[in-house]
Homo-oligomer: A and B are copies of this chain.
Amino acid sequence: MDELESRTRRIVESAVELAEEGGFEAVRMRDVAAHAGVALGTFYKRFKSKEDLLVAALEIELDKLAKKVAQKEFDGATRLERVTNFFDMATKGLTRKPNLARAILRAVASGDPDLTPKIAKFHGAMTAYISQALRGERFSDEPSQDVTKLEATVSFLMQQVWFAALVGWSSGLHSRKTVVEQMRVAAELLLRGMAEAQRDDG
């Protein structure tokens, strides 16, 4: 996450506030610009679109998760416990600001190719965190050096399930609690499968 120049940060923070109050539609570009004290043209020199802005907000939220996670003791005796705890924390953190979370999810799922690099970065960071939770390492921005292919695969799949579960939550298909529960079940099955695969192949 780059050091954000003050004007840019103000814009993103304005978007976060407006999104938290009224969701995606409440993030009106004119309002964001006014709230941040910049002209509309200035906004569009820094961000390609509304979605771009909200993905920038995601980077900020990820930073917050990173800080929270870095402080916390990373507890759990088993891989399953650690991973489940991690998703519990991440899910609660995100859904604490539900309207913001929904707005960001919508932006992420918009499929705009311009956003792909930022989204890939986010995926990478999340996958790294999951791997660290798996292994019980202290969280860090530095990815572990010796993550096995299997661990990486499982982490990636868990992240996919998490994303889909959040989108479902976002549409009102299920509750926050259900998201956490889904992650626990997914982790159980994937970790069992992983253990078996290790036994066979390695």
Q: Chain A residues in contact with chain B, CB under 8 A?
A: 24, 102, 105-106, 109-113, 115-116, 119-120, 123, 153-154, 157, 159-161, 163-165, 167-168, 170-173, 182, 185-186, 188-194, 196-197
| Copies of this chain, tallied across the complex | 2
Distance in angstroms from A137 CB to nearest chain B CB is 22
Whether B173 and A116, one on each chain, are in contact in the complex, defined by CB atoms closer than 8 angstroms, is yes
Residues of chain B with a CB closer than 8 A to A170's CB: 109, 111
- A interface, over-half SS: helix
Q: Pick the contact of A115 from B106, B109, B171, B192 — CB < 8 Å?
A: B171
**A113–B167 CB distance below 8 A:** no
Output the nearest chain B residue to A24 by Cβ-Cβ distance.
B111
A105 to B164, CA, bound (A): 12
Is there contact, CB below 8 Å, between A116 and B172?
A: yes
A196 and B192 contacting across the interface, CB-CB below 8 Å:
yes
